[in-house]
Amino acid sequence: MNEKRFSELAEKYFDGSLSQNERELFDLIVSSNDEYRALFAQYQELFDTFTHIRIKNSIGNVLNETNSQRKSIESKPRSNQFLLIYRQISQYSAAAVIALLVVVGTLYITGYFSIKKEQVSSYTQLKNNLIDISKLQTSIINSFNNGTRKIENYASGTCFPVSTNGYFVTSLHLVRNFENAYVSSAKDTTRFSARIILKDSLHDIAIIKVVDTLFQSFKSVPFIIKHADINIGEYVFTLGYSKNDVVFNDGTVSSSTGYMDDSTAYQLSIPANPGNSGGPILNNKGEVVGILLAKNLNSDNATYALKSNYIYDLVQNLTSDTLEAPVVVKKQQVRSSDKVQMIKQIQPFIFKLEVY
């Protein structure tokens, strides 16, 4: 890693805008190397000092207000000046900020079987299984590392092909803690076993390959992975398995950055539910422009999707890393200008992913 990248990550680590995966990875990197450790300590000290100055300025402003505006205080609604500076306070405060302002949940279903057994309304159960970031970040990491493994023995989400011969992309958080993965479509009850080929922990995506002999290559895949950013305001939709059948949802790109200014993601106004994790985000041409990551539980209409550039890059790595080259989709097949027709063509290529 070059120092520029390192300093960017250290900064995001400090202001709490790394995802738990990124955080974990960065912890590992820093602890693995004395040079990195020293460098990290230096950046921490610098950022910490800047933070002190920033908060002091804000407090100073508030106190000056006391002198000049004493009369108007009573009538004025509470001016929460400090909320504005929350963005970059410190690693400690970051956890508090999250608790205060926003809760993000990953979108995959867990505990499906236990629901069936107990005949409990699956609705509440699903809700309960959303991971709640309002708890301390460490507990999140734990729940990803250990907790999930112990408690959950099933999870499901969505995946979609990036090649005609069985390579699919999905969310890493969906598959990382499980040993068996199965891909199936709504049309067909056959489930094909798959294994993880490539992981990108930094961006929470993975490529899996269907290894089942029953699986037949597609003649073609209708969509490509777009290698360019899209603009805010653009129309996007997703197809995913928030229940046993494919569910369509659409909306627009609300922001070109994700949760806490994460530049690798978009914020979308698409309703998303558990099970949508790993689902593609497509634009009005039917090109894949992102993959669903998480939703903001405290805000009605904020869903986060990783930009498709990172999927594209991972697929590029795949072509150079694996023996059996995937036949990567190169040409956009869907051209229908009619939305319903387009979805009809795409839908058979959206798959359910179940892991045990």
Which residues form the interface with another protein (CB under 8 A)?
3-4, 7-8, 42-43, 45-57, 59-60, 62-63, 65-66, 73, 77-90, 92-93, 95-96, 100, 136
For the CB of residue 204, give the shortest distance to another protein in the complex, in Å: 24
Of 212 and 261, nearer to another protein (C-beta) is 261
The neighbour count for residue 319, using CB atoms within 10 Å, is 13
For the CB of residue 68, give the shortest distance to another protein in the complex, in Å: 12
Of 96 and 196, nearer to another protein (C-beta) is 96
For the CB of residue 88, give the shortest distance to another protein in the complex, in Å: 7
Of 87 and 191, nearer to another protein (C-beta) is 87
Beta bridge partners of 208: 168, 196
The rounded distance, in Å, linking the Cα atoms of 28 and 126 is 32
For the CB of residue 50, give the shortest distance to another protein in the complex, in Å: 4
Of 40 and 192, nearer to another protein (C-beta) is 40
Cβ partners under 8 Å of residue 313, min gap 6: none
Structure tokens at 200: 């990108």
For the CB of residue 97, give the shortest distance to another protein in the complex, in Å: 8
223, containing H or E segment: none
Of 109 and 133, nearer to another protein (C-beta) is 133
Where does the chain show beta strands of DSSP type E? Answer: 104-106, 109-110, 155-161, 167-171, 181-184, 192-200, 205-210, 235-240, 247-255, 265-268, 280-283, 288-296, 303-307, 351-355
The answer to whether 294 touches 268, Cβ cutoff 8 Å, is no
For the CB of residue 55, give the shortest distance to another protein in the complex, in Å: 5
Of 100 and 325, nearer to another protein (C-beta) is 100
Comparing C-alpha atoms, which of 115, 185, 109, 119 is closest to residue 148?
Answer: 109
For the CB of residue 56, give the shortest distance to another protein in the complex, in Å: 5
Give, in order, the Cα–Cα distances in Å from 148 to each of 71, 101, 103, 154, 206.
55, 25, 19, 10, 18
Q: Give Cα 318 distance to the centre of its chain.
A: 21
Of 46 and 186, nearer to another protein (C-beta) is 46
Angle 160-209-258 from CA coordinates, rounded to 5°: 45
For the CB of residue 48, give the shortest distance to another protein in the complex, in Å: 8
Length of the chain: 356
Of 136 and 196, nearer to another protein (C-beta) is 136
The rounded distance, in Å, linking the Cα atoms of 240 and 249 is 8
